[in-house]
Structure 1
Amino acid sequence: MGLKDFTREDPIFTDESVLRDTYQPDTLIERDPQLADYQNALRPVINNAPPKNIFVYGQTGVGKTLSTDLVLEKLTQDANTYDDLSIEIVNVICKSLSSSYQVSIRLVNELRAPDDQIALRGHGSGDVYDMLWTELNQLDATHVLFVLDEIDSIGTDDDILYELPRCNANGNVDDTYIGVIGISNNFQFRDNLSARVKDSLCDEEIHFPPYDAEQLRHILETRAQPAFRNDVLTSDIIPLCAAFAAQESGSARRALRILYKAGDLARQTDRSTITEADVREADRVVEEGKTKAELESLPVQNHITLYAILSYALEDETPVRRKQIYQRYKLLADQIDADVKTARTIHDQLSQLTLKGILDVAERNEGIKGGNYYLYDFNVDTAIIRDALEKQHRIGDLFDK
């Protein structure tokens, strides 16, 4: 039959881009209380006062990052009407950064010119902070707000979340007010912050709860209007997409992906309407894709830990004790020249991976002789684990070896 012609004739979509992850709406619906809290927390900035430090938390797809972008855009626009204000926003996505040291290096480089970057290794942590303070003191700004998205990637190494909020009070930065906005989808990370960090970072906490089915229905209806042709959606399609997403996670991102994939499935067969069967198949496809995406987005230290468990699985030796996982993790980290974390840190990672549904854990008690211990195994198909890890540059080297 050969290839069909590429044409703009589309029986389903008029503008499919509004359903994609990359689409940035001008407004955010169903989040008025959180937006109001956000604006109130940032009000000192517009008054040319020291900013509050803000911790924003909630699971993936509930509007944390979009709210942050919209509120900060509004803040900087309004600040331009005042002659005594100059606000700099520094955004860093921390998902590939596993320590405060790596975050501080990234912040220095964000503030420096492209031809004046510092190396990612070989500095004392104190020296990096000194470079950061120097860059901030040289800025011609009244306020610098650091947005640290996915900050939970640094695990228990939270020194940066103490140093930044305290840099004015400690005399490191003089004429520029520094504020920090930490964003996390890991509730355990927030709870496990050290006491001194909680005291410094959490002037204001803003919680984004999961959307319920009615909120998701409203969001989908708003996006569907410009996305689809007339009569493509029957009355039950949007409520079904919303119900699936509400039951699984309460994520608007997931609801939009289900709706978009359902339309894509209908388009593949040249149909002009979306059916309930399309939605159910879309939900299955999106769930599998979500697992792969979550695995690929994990920090490198998580990837090394998962590879250690995978190596046991490929030897048919799972479930495996966490003590054995740590021993193999150390060998693997050395092989790719990665920092070797403590056993406690890796144990915390195993707990986080279990909470995410990637791992399954069982406790065993072998009495006085054997004692208590934990056994870990994968809770998802090992083929998905392997495929995700092979795509990672440094971890892929382990497969070659």
Structure 2
Amino acid sequence: MAGPFSDITDTLFANKEVLNESYQPEAILERDQEIEEYRYALQDVLFGRDPENIMLYGKAGLGKTAVTTYMMNALSEEVEAREQADDLHIHKVNCNGKTLFIVVRTLVNQLLPEDASSFPKRGLGTGDAFGELYQQLDRIGGTHLFVFDEIDHLDEVDTLLYELPRARSNAHLTAARVGIIGISNNYTFRKSLSPKVKDTLMEDEISFSPYDATELRTILRDRAERAFVEEGWDRSALGMASAISAQDMGNARQAIDLLRVGGEVAERRDDSCVTDEHIETARELVQRGRLVNRIRDQTDHAQYILETIARLEERGDTPVRSKEVQERYEQVAQSWATSPLTSLKSIQDHLSDLHMLGFLRRNERNQGLNGGQYFEYQLDLDSALVLETREKIEG
């Protein structure tokens, strides 16, 4: 008897992995200027000098992490051939959702000898973790580059960016040299740093601008040639995916997602080639998936407020003022066994943030001398999608 998979004999994909977010290309396309800036910022490492600190800025999907991985690999290979260069050690930490203590503890545990006990989770403070970090760095010696991805999400980032760059000048280190590479999605991140940190950091800044449609088409063509079987994609489909992404955010990740999902749509339909029609369907699927992820990324109370407005919208009770949102929000929070925020100001702050992030539309009303000015809110996305996502999160 034939099994459920016995009729699946053909595939459009020759190497689907090259369309995955985790794929690291051997060569980086359309980022020559950024690579050149990176190259000069890292050159001191080749001569055994203190490395420069580097900050990379740009929205998600613009190649910051991929370029950094490429440059770290290239630098490591070059150091091996340079007599003047110290031994190079690269440490990577994603800061999203982590405290400063967790970040420093993670670094310590990366450096400890294999037979050593892990640095404890409790009982010691951040200062103790820094002390152990310096001890391990000097034990190993050489040059250490710390890559902090999503550094703008880290609490107490001022402390991190003040401590590490000054570790050698403050005599915490004698045998090791350190440099920081910070990756931020927030172009204004530096403005949030304290003046003493800005003076200490003295970093090189590399800004990653959005890709245009031509650049995205070059990237997609390279991926398509690797990902699909011969004649498995149409050139106009690449053009459509590139144009959609360029008009949206100039995001390579989005363009590659469109191509991958377009291929999956074509394969499910038993079509032999990815066409514009498949990309158009993929566009709807990818947009829906990204909205779901953006909702999941919000705090619990921001999600409760979104759910509140979605329920009001389902009943036809929007646009709605913040006071009315507060009344229904309290019921929603309690229904999920959570104590609601008690101040109207907190609700208004969340509403303002959700409006700024594009979840809500906000209209200003003016009722004259008696009624005054106020805002009304309504969803700027599908209410059913919000409620469906919330049920999955809580379920």
Normalised to the residue count of structure 1, the TM-score between the two structures is: 0.80
Give the match for residue 236 of structure 1.
Answer: 236
Give the match for residue 309 of structure 1.
Answer: 305
Cα distance in structure 2, aligned partners of 1:91 and 1:347? 37
Superposed displacement of residue 250, structure 1: 0.6
What's the secondary structure of 2:299's corresponding residue? helix
Q: Summarize the Cα distance change of 1:27–1:58 in structure 2 as closer, same or farther, 3 Å threshold.
A: same
Give the match for residue 185 of structure 2.
Answer: 185
Superposed displacement of residue 217, structure 1: 0.6
Cα distance in structure 1, aligned partners of 2:125 and 2:291? 37
Cα distance in structure 2, aligned partners of 1:223 and 1:8? 23
What's the secondary structure of 1:187's corresponding residue? coil
| 2:257 paired with 1:257 | yes
Deviation per residue, 1:228-272 (Å, 9 max, x gap): 233333332111110001011111111111111112111111111
Identity %: 33
CA contact (8 A) 2:105 2:129 kept: yes
Cα distance in structure 1, aligned partners of 2:260 and 2:284? 13
What's the secondary structure of 2:164's corresponding residue? helix
Give the match for residue 281 of structure 2.
Answer: 281
Give the match for residue 212 of structure 2.
Answer: 212
Deviation per residue, 1:159-212 (Å, 9 max, x gap): 212222222222222221111000011224343233233333351000110100
Higher relative contact order (CA 8 A, sep 6+): 1
Q: Summarize the Cα distance change of 1:386–1:108 in structure 2 as closer, same or farther, 3 Å threshold.
A: farther
CA contact (8 A) 1:156 1:345 kept: no
Give the match for residue 199 of structure 2.
Answer: 199
Give the match for residue 57 of structure 1.
Answer: 57
Give the match for residue 224 of structure 2.
Answer: 224
Q: How does 1:3-18 map to 2 (within 5 A)?
A: 3-5=4-6, 7-10=8-11, 12-18=12-18
Give the match for residue 172 of structure 1.
Answer: 172
| 2:121 paired with 1:117 | no
Deviation per residue, 1:296-335 (Å, 9 max, x gap): 4x4xxx42342452464477496547x979x98xx99xx9
Q: Summarize the Cα distance change of 1:119–1:374 in structure 2 as closer, same or farther, 3 Å threshold.
A: farther
CA contact (8 A) 1:54 1:204 kept: yes
Give the match for residue 160 of structure 1.
Answer: 160
Moved more, 158-167 or 73-82: 158-167
Q: Amino acid of the residue matched to residue 218 of structure 2?
A: H
Superposed displacement of residue 143, structure 1: 0.8
CA contact (8 A) 1:162 1:197 kept: yes
What's the secondary structure of 1:22's corresponding residue? coil
Cα distance in structure 2, aligned partners of 1:376 and 1:118? 48
What's the secondary structure of 2:35's corresponding residue? helix
Give the match for residue 87 of structure 1.
Answer: 88
What's the secondary structure of 1:92's corresponding residue? strand
Please say which structure displays the higher CA radius of gyration: 2
CA contact (8 A) 1:87 1:141 kept: no
What's the secondary structure of 2:179's corresponding residue? strand
Q: How does 1:141-160 map to 2 (within 5 A)?
A: 141-154=141-154, 157-160=157-160
Cα distance in structure 2, aligned partners of 1:92 and 1:359? 33
CA contact (8 A) 2:302 2:350 kept: no
Cα distance in structure 2, aligned partners of 1:380 and 1:226? 36
CA contact (8 A) 1:146 1:180 kept: yes
Deviation per residue, 1:351-382 (Å, 9 max, x gap): 76554434555667899999988777654445
CA contact (8 A) 2:302 2:354 kept: no
CA contact (8 A) 1:365 1:373 kept: yes
Q: Summarize the Cα distance change of 1:33–1:157 in structure 2 as closer, same or farther, 3 Å threshold.
A: closer
Superposed displacement of residue 215, structure 1: 0.3
Cα distance in structure 1, aligned partners of 2:345 and 2:129? 26
Superposed displacement of residue 136, structure 1: 2.0
Q: Amino acid of the residue matched to residue 72 of structure 1?
A: M
Give the match for residue 133 of structure 2.
Answer: 132
Superposed displacement of residue 222, structure 1: 1.1
CA contact (8 A) 1:94 1:150 kept: yes
Cα distance in structure 2, aligned partners of 1:166 and 1:346? 41
Cα distance in structure 2, aligned partners of 1:282 and 1:226? 20
Gaps of 5+ in 1: none
Q: Summarize the Cα distance change of 1:263–1:158 in structure 2 as closer, same or farther, 3 Å threshold.
A: same
Count of matched residue pairs = 378
Give the match for residue 71 of structure 1.
Answer: 71
Q: Summarize the Cα distance change of 1:174–1:375 in structure 2 as closer, same or farther, 3 Å threshold.
A: farther
What's the secondary structure of 1:152's corresponding residue? helix
CA contact (8 A) 1:86 1:142 kept: yes
Give the match for residue 26 of structure 2.
Answer: 26
Superposed displacement of residue 85, structure 1: 1.2
- Give the alignment's Cα RMSD to 1 decimal: 3.8
